[in-house]
Amino acid sequence: MENENKRYTVIVSEKAAEILVSHARFLANVSEGAAKKLIEDCPVHF
């Protein structure tokens, strides 16, 4: 595909970052492994 190697910059608002952290915290209570995977897969750490 032509766009396969294109890089984009994504700007995440402070509120969205807070929600992502909240989701990771919730996920850790349900499944520690899933929470670790979410954190590892996230290109930016908040």
Tens digits of pLDDT across the chain (46 residues): 566 788 888 888 999 989 988 988 999 999 999 988 988 887 766 5
Give the pLDDT of residue 39.
82
Alpha carbons 35 and 21: distance in angstroms, whole number: 10
Domain segments of the chain: what residues?
Answer: 12-45
Distances (CA, A) of 25 to 5, 18, 22: 32, 11, 5
Give the pLDDT of residue 21.
87
